[in-house]
Amino acid sequence: MKFIVELALKNLARYKRRTIITAIAIAVGLMMYIIVDSMLIGAEYESMRNLRWYETSSARILDSGYWENRMQLPLDKNIAQPYRIIEELRDEGFVGTPRTTFSADMILSSEDFGEEGNLPVLITAIDPRTDNDVFRFEDTLIEGRFLRPGEDAVVLGSWFAEDLGAKVGYWVTLVTRGNGGFYEAMDLQVVGIVNCPNPNVNRTLVMMPIDTAGDYLAMDGAATEINILLPDSKDANGYLVEIQSIIDQSDDNLAVYSWEALAKDYLAIAEAKRGGTGVILFLVFIIAAVGISNTMLMAIYERIRELGMMRALGMTDSAIHMAFIIEAGGIGLIGSIFGVIFGAFGNFFLVNYGINFGMIMRDMDMGYRIQSVLKGAWNPSAIIIAFLAGFILSMLVAWIPTRRALKMDIPACLRHQ
């Protein structure tokens, strides 16, 4: 046994260039695995967070009729007294803010924008006093100021504003249908521009004060939704049950929906994407595996005569098998160690500094709710898996060609050129 290990290690040391190249291939594969995995986890984590921070909040109370017809954004399926419910929630320790969303035609005048135009938009009417208790828009303001209650004003997402050519101070006209169906038009001034890290929001965001919207749309104090901030906790469902019991006391028609339910489509895509990224990671592995199997194949074939000699001299097949597997495992181990070191090193920068994908994300809808800087995340299990896989896979891929070589009869091995 000692001889076998020695022989394997000597072969490793002897064929330095081959060992180094193969180990580098493995190391690069593993490093890519660790970094790609980190990026994907980071992207997903940040996406989910940005989804909650800027789109769905942690949970949302809706009229159940609204939920059923949510595609039409029905203003009449509303929460009649949102503030009373928010008060009740606050008594139980939950933070909430009302919002009303509605679609409108945005009319741009040539006076401000240089030419006439109109486009369909989605308006989010918020309570400027409480919205930032639940959402995080105030931190994202890059121009002008945030909304004030009761004013005829809008705040736009920066990409949306850019696409429109809108600047702070410009006026836009919204034509929409009020609660009941009547036409309404409102002239609103752009008072601020936010750069929201969630690209889907930043690309479309139009916010206005909920009381202004309520007046125009004849909401009579109603809102279409109450958004709730929940503490990060494993027991989100427990909170939902608690909130449901609170709102059941005041209105039978209201129901609370988790952000997962609200972002169901996104989560389904994310799930599918995870399958796709699994394929990417698998390919990374395959590259490393092909590298080592090719190396071992060459190593074995150029040593078939040597192998025949050892067999003739009475060395058992299992011992020879072991020698090659230890050799491959040695390359795998070196590659894995360096792969993990490089991967961890690269990941350190990825986690702490991130990569700026801003220009790519701007023009490409990747589905992720991330803008500009993408940061990685530490995933110890991926690193351990990468390490073990690099090591074990290397030995496994050496198994087959060795077995094939050992199936040749000894004279054939000795004749082998």
3 lies in the site for another protein, by CB under 8 A? yes
Q: Is 195:55 a contact under the CB 8 Å cutoff?
A: no
CA–CA gap between residue 105 and residue 409 (Å, rounded): 82
Q: Residue 309, interface with another protein (CB under 8 A)?
A: yes
Amino acid identity of 185? A
Q: How far apart are CA 123 and CA 208, in angstroms?
A: 7
Q: Is 16 in the site for another protein (CB under 8 A)?
A: no
Span of 240-248, 249-257, 304-312, 393-401 interacting with another protein by CB under 8 A: 304-312
Residue 62 — φ and ψ, nearest 5°?
Answer: -135, 155
- C-alpha to C-alpha distance for 380 and 338, rounded to whole angstroms: 16
**DSSP notation for 77-125:** S-BS-HHHHHHHHHHTT-EEEEEEEEEEEEEE-HHHHSS-EEEEEEEEE
Binding another protein (rule: CB under 8 A), the pick from 101, 173, 253, 372 is 173
Min. distance of Cβ 335 from another protein in angstroms? 20
314 binds another protein (CB under 8 A): yes
CB 409, min distance to another protein, A: 7
Residues composing the chain: 417
Minimal distance in Å, beta carbon 105 to another protein? 8
CB of residue 139 to another protein, shortest distance in Å: 35
Q: Which of 128, 308, 335, 401 binds another protein (CB under 8 A)?
A: 308
Counting contacts by CB under 8 A, is residue 410 touching another protein?
yes
> Cα angle vertex 225, ends 224, 229, to 5°?
165
| Of residues 34, 148, 25, 98, the one with CA closest to residue 379 | 34
Binding range to another protein, per CB under 8 A, among 21-29, 52-60, 176-184, 293-301: 176-184
- Near another protein by CB under 8 A: residue from 306, 344, 367, 373: 306
Residues that bind another protein (CB under 8 A): 2-3, 6-7, 10-11, 13-14, 69, 72-74, 105, 107, 110, 116, 118, 173, 175, 177-185, 218, 305-306, 308-317, 319, 409-411, 414
